[in-house]
Amino acid sequence: MVTNATGTTLVCLGPSSGFEVRPILRRKPAAGEIEVAVAAASVNPIDVRRAQGYGRRLLSLVGAGRFPMILGNDFAGIVTALGDSVDAFKIGDRVYGVKPPSADGTHASHVLVKAAHVLPARAGQDLQALAALPYSFVTMWLAVRGAGLTRQNAAGKRVLIHGAAGGLGTLTLQMMSAWGACVTAIARPHDFAACRDAGALEMVDSNSKPFATLSRTFDATLNFAAWDDDLALIGALRDGALGHATTVHPLLANFDELGWARGVLKTLSDRHRHSAALPKNGRYVWTVFKPEILALQELRGLVEQRRVGLPIAVREPLAGVAQAFDHVNKGRRGRALILPG
Ligand SMILES: NC(=O)c1ccc[n+]([C@@H]2O[C@H](COP(=O)([O-])OP(=O)(O)OC[C@H]3O[C@@H](n4cnc5c(N)ncnc54)[C@H](OP(=O)(O)O)[C@@H]3O)[C@@H](O)[C@H]2O)c1
């Protein structure tokens, strides 16, 4: 139901049409939802790609494929309204969390979100620092679990991460270090120090065509960098390894480029080709972001222990969206935030 209260959103009009800041009438939260006044929301690589039309066919199944749309999957801010049956929060609470892909994302002054996908922020925790984490953390947690690693079994496991200096990679290094795994990071030499600080024990130079020389000694491998390198990473798993997960699979692109029928066939064939290269009983997962309560609980614990964080390089108001998207599009270091307030 619409209220008399107003807000502002950043509407993505289409690949060649850019963005528009628009006023909106806010809606009342439904049962189980809360409304949050957004202090900060991340611009993630998926936002940049969706703004260019990526994923439109498959995401249309969840109402997230058509322009105009509001992008953004995570946020931090202040609770401004409560739906029925919400007792975990009260108005004025500081919170952070995630929202599933939709056409009604978090790049807005106010968002409606499921209370179950929201975490409380303690007094003194910086909301901008928190806003950079939830989407990337939940995705990397899904990848880590997809590859077969858990908090209980990770100690001493040899884990190889491609794209270790990026957002997902850095958070994985931090969580794997907290879980006691022994991580080898594939990254560029100018990122080696940051990877070591985040918890990597060994470094491999991604510029040096490293895959031919990697030994088959890893318990789990994670690909956050390039689909073209996926088979080579699987080839670094030892016999009896747990498995491999990738976030850079061609699922959305297959359907965008080939349509429904050929998209299914290409996806099955891509997955089969890579699964066939796994050691016996190894797991193989194409990670797809979705809100995951266990991941959010892990995030909350690590935030409270100050074990996770990402450098933030760009902070822009809604009207500065072009700079924030340009930063992410160019693959520059550090996360970009939109500050709608
Ligand atoms: N499937 C899903 O649901 C999902 C969800 C979240 C993210 N993702 C995807 O997962 C990937 C990682 O996300 P992120 O937020 O961590 O991105 P990010 O911060 O941009 O980091 C990506 C990292 O991968 C490295 N990299 C990229 N291409 C490479 C290549 N060809 N060779 C070697 N290194 C390469 C980059 O290094 P350089 O900058 O030095 O090139 C960077 O360190 C992105 O592609 C993102 O779109 C997918």
Which of 44, 50, 71, 168, when mutated, tests ligand 1's pocket best, judged by the most ligand atoms within 8 Å of its CB? 168
Q: Which atom of ligand 1 is nearest to the CA of 249?
A: 1
Total tally of structural domains belonging to the chain: 2
**CATH number of the domain bearing residue 110:** 3.90.180.10
**CATH number of the domain bearing residue 281:** 3.40.50.720
| Residue-wise DSSP of 38-96 | EEEEEE-HHHHHHHTTTTHHHHGGGT-SSSSBB--SEEEEEEEEE-TT--S--TT-EEE
What is the extent of the structural domain holding 73?
Answer: 2-132+310-338
Q: Which pLDDT tens digit goes with each residue over 280-317? A: 999 999 999 999 999 999 999 999 999 999 999 999 99
pLDDT given for residue 138 in this prediction: 99
Long-range (24+ apart) CB contacts under 8 A made by 322-329 are: 322/18, 322/19, 324/43, 325/43, 325/47, 325/48, 325/51, 327/43, 328/43, 328/44, 328/45, 328/47, 328/48, 329/48
pLDDT given for residue 16 in this prediction: 87
pLDDT given for residue 30 in this prediction: 98
Asked whether residue 244 falls in the same domain as residue 203, the answer is yes
Task: Give the distance (Å) from ligand 1 centre to CA of residue 7.
Answer: 33
Threshold 0.85, pTM exceeds: yes
Check pocket membership of 136 for ligand 1, CB cut-off 6 A: yes
Classify residue 302: in a domain, yes or no.
no
Task: Give the distance (Å) from ligand 1 centre to CA of residue 225.
Answer: 4
Alpha carbon distance 309, 136 (integer Å): 11
pLDDT given for residue 126 in this prediction: 98
Check pocket membership of 46 for ligand 1, CB cut-off 6 A: yes
Asked whether residue 21 falls in the same domain as residue 119, the answer is yes
pLDDT given for residue 4 in this prediction: 80
Asked whether residue 202 falls in the same domain as residue 315, the answer is no
Check pocket membership of 169 for ligand 1, CB cut-off 6 A: yes
pLDDT given for residue 212 in this prediction: 83
pLDDT given for residue 147 in this prediction: 98
Check pocket membership of 226 for ligand 1, CB cut-off 6 A: yes
Asked whether residue 126 falls in the same domain as residue 188, the answer is no
Per the CB < 8 A criterion, the answer to whether 117 and 28 are in contact is no
Alpha carbon distance 305, 118 (integer Å): 18
Low-confidence ranges of the chain (pLDDT < 70): none
Per the CB < 8 A criterion, the answer to whether 32 and 69 are in contact is no
pLDDT given for residue 213 in this prediction: 85
Q: Which atom of ligand 1 is nearest to the CA of 135?
A: 6
Asked whether residue 99 falls in the same domain as residue 232, the answer is no
Which of 222, 247, 326, when mutated, tests ligand 1's pocket best, judged by the most ligand atoms within 8 Å of its CB? 247
| Counts of helices then strands in the chain (DSSP H, E) | 10, 15
Burial class (CB in 10 A: 0-12, 13-18, 19+), 117: buried
Check pocket membership of 181 for ligand 1, CB cut-off 6 A: no
Classify residue 298: in a domain, yes or no.
no
pLDDT given for residue 209 in this prediction: 84
